A and B are shown apart, each in its own frame.
Chain A
Amino acid sequence: MKVDVLSINGDTIKFSVKGVDEAFANALRRTMISEVPCMAIDDIFIFDNSSVFPDEELAMRVGFIPFTTDLKKYTLPEKCECKSDLGCSHCRAVITLDVSADTSPRTVYSRDLVSEDPSIKPVSPDIVIAKLAPKQAIKFEAYARLGVGNVHAKWQPVSMCVYKHETGGDKSGGLFIFTVESTGCLKPEEVVSEAVRILVEKLNTFQEKIRRGEASDEIVEFEVSEEVGRGLYSVGAGDFEEEEGEESQE
């Protein structure tokens, strides 16, 4: 195997691998796209929104803002020890916004978001969230969490992740030239390393289960409700109270 880093330019890395097969290259590519976690706003409680956007639209716009991510500091909510719905300081960062336009129109940018954790902030300060007319205001509290692209595209750490296979005509399996562009949430080389670690971890789990002869009796088909539930937004403080009520009934 031969690995060559060809260039690192801002958020883009180019590297080549020789001596691996298509399955290896494709597993790496697919993992980078859909299984490397990054931060995005997941829950939002809107206290005031008199902008032209309905709450849902505002929540979606905020959800798609890429945030810088610290994978050492945060864990995926489902793997966090706190087991709580709202999370703890290891699995979420609170982001707030409180803006209003007084006498003249105002554009609200991602730089107006206030994060409790300085390491979790929008990758660019210049992303437009909304434009406010005089006397309009937006006020919310949002929770940024780690998640994976499998669940929702807002958690996809790469804006481009492709490889070119140059076969070269010999039996070596050819050369794979990767181009990976990070959204800015992680360094592009971090995305690559993390993907490899995730794959190794999966293979470890698989091996362990086979060795121990551990197999569940049945795999329930369409066990998707929980997965789909995550990645949707809860909008408004009112919804939140309803959710709590439902849980106490269970």
Chain B
Amino acid sequence: MKLNIVKRDQDRIMMEVGDEGHTLLNLLQSSLLRLKYVKMAGYSKPHPLMNKSILTVVTNDGKSPEEALVEAAENAKIMLNEFLSDFEKQILFTEINREKQAS
């Protein structure tokens, strides 16, 4: 993953994210938009053959876009980790049940 900051104003960041597409950026965007101090968050892919995306974040309430990005990523990670631990617990449970049925 490569990052390249294209524009950085008071409350706005526009950055290129190399080697990433809809998978990561859509997740980030949705996580960013959940933050109260994020005024705008969006991304675009300049060309389908280019393996990069352009992410724009605008914040208010004196918070920096970098803070928003870090917090959004953190929140997405919390969701994913919660899912993983729940999922693996369920799998373990299913396996135990299966062994019981087999014996």
Chain A residues proximal to chain B, CB less than 8 Å: 1-5, 8, 15, 17, 20-24, 26-28, 30-31, 34-35, 189, 192-193, 196-197, 199-200, 202-207, 209-211, 214-219, 221-224, 227
Q: Which of A5, A22, A199 contacts B94 (CB 8 A)?
A: A5
Q: How far is the CA of A19 from the CA of B28 in the complex (A)?
A: 17
Contact partners of B20 in chain A: CB under 8 A: 202
Q: How far is the CA of A28 from the CA of B20 in the complex (A)?
A: 14
Contact partners of A4 in chain B: CB under 8 A: 90
Interface size class on chain B is: 35 or more
Task: Please tell me if the beta carbons of A215 and B52 are within 8 angstroms of each other in the complex.
Answer: no
Shortest Cβ distance from A218 into B: residue: B4
Q: Which of A27, A216, A223, A224 contacts B4 (CB 8 A)?
A: A216
Q: How far is the CA of A6 from the CA of B51 in the complex (A)?
A: 36
Contact partners of B52 in chain A: CB under 8 A: 219, 221
Contact residues of A: prevailing secondary structure? helix
Contact residues of B: prevailing secondary structure? helix
20 A-B pairs with C-beta separation under 8 A: A1-B79, A3-B87, A4-B90, A5-B87, A21-B30, A23-B29, A24-B30, A28-B83, A192-B87, A196-B80, A196-B81, A200-B77, A200-B81, A202-B24, A206-B3, A206-B73, A209-B3, A214-B3, A218-B4, A219-B18
Contact partners of B90 in chain A: CB under 8 A: 3-5, 15
Q: Which of B3, B16, B79 contacts A20 (CB 8 A)?
A: B79
Query: 16 more A-B contacts (CB under 8 A) besides A27-B23, A207-B74, A210-B73?
Result: A2-B86, A3-B90, A5-B91, A15-B90, A21-B30, A24-B79, A26-B22, A27-B27, A196-B83, A206-B1, A206-B69, A207-B70, A215-B4, A216-B2, A216-B3, A224-B51
Task: Please tell me if the beta carbons of A224 and B49 are within 8 angstroms of each other in the complex.
Answer: yes
Q: Which of B4, B5, B27, B73 contacts A207 (CB 8 A)?
A: B73
Chain B residues proximal to chain A, CB less than 8 Å: 1-5, 15-18, 20, 22-24, 26-31, 49-52, 66, 69-70, 73-74, 76-77, 79-84, 86-88, 90-91, 93-94
Task: Please tell me if the beta carbons of A193 and B88 are within 8 angstroms of each other in the complex.
Answer: yes
